[in-house]
């Protein structure tokens, strides 16, 4: 049976922590593919992404272009918001029958999982895997892929807005697009 993982998020911007944890999940779980799915608008986040869906999609495609086991799916950007994970899982499942589906989520989302749209159904449809960058002991029973990495999209946006370097925080091609498109030049959270 094939094994794929759906890795959703705003990816505003995608950075090395996202990529390293996706690689760790791929290898640890023996996955055939990790599919990055940029959200249009997350129902539980207060603010919309800073960069447009089109730009975030371009950043993701650029970041993974030489990784054959990584893919990008723009299904959430093509659907009317908000972006519900269960809708994405159902859509990807229709295209991938006879496939075990894993859902990669950030540690910061675990507290709110029960508030996710149709969470009880989602939990039965996928293997939930928590990606943890904190290095702290888990407070839940989900399987964890952990790697202590202190990189965040918020930090990257703040550094760009203040004129600081983001070299080594994002892939060089992502940095080039951010600079060329003058993304994140205004302070954001």
Calpha distance 51→55 (Å, rounded): 6
CATH 1.10.3720.10 holds for 2-149? no
Residue pair 141/150 in contact (Cβ under 8 Å)? The answer is no
Distance set, CA 17 to CA 71, 81, 82, 171 (Å) = 17, 26, 25, 11
pLDDT in tens, the chain (189 residues): 999 999 999 999 999 999 999 999 999 999 999 999 999 988 877 778 899 999 999 999 999 999 999 999 999 999 998 889 999 999 999 999 899 999 999 999 999 999 999 999 999 999 999 999 988 899 999 999 999 999 999 999 999 999 999 999 999 999 999 999 999 998 654
Nearest partner of 69 among 36, 44, 39, judged by Cα: 36
- Give the domain ranges of the chain: 2-149
Largest CA distance in the chain: 49
Q: Tell me the pLDDT tens digit for each residue of 109-143.
A: 999 999 999 999 999 999 999 999 988 899 999 99
């Amino acid at each position: 049976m094939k094994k794929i993982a759906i890795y959703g998020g705003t990816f505003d911007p995608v950075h090395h922590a996202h990529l390293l944890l996706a690689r760790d999940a791929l290898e640890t779980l023996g996955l055939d593919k990790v599919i990055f799915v940029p959200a249009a608008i997350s129902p539980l986040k207060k603010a919309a992404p800073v960069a447009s869906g089109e730009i975030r999609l371009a950043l993701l495609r650029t970041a993974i272009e030489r990784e054959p086991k990584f893919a990008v799916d723009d299904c959430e950007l093509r659907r009317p918001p908000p972006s519900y994970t269960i809708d994405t899982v159902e859509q990807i499942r229709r295209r991938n029958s006879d496939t075990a589906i894993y859902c990669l989520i950030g540690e910061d989302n675990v507290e709110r999982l029960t508030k996710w749209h149709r969470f009880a159904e989602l939990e039965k449809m996928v293997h939930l895997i928590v990606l943890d960058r904190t290095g702290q002991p888990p407070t839940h029973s989900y399987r964890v892929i952990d790697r202590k990495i202190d990189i965040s999209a918020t930090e990257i946006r703040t550094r760009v807005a203040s004129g600081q370097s983001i070299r080594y925080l994002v892939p060089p091609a992502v940095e080039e697009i951010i600079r060329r498109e003058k993304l994140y030049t205004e302070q954001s959270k």
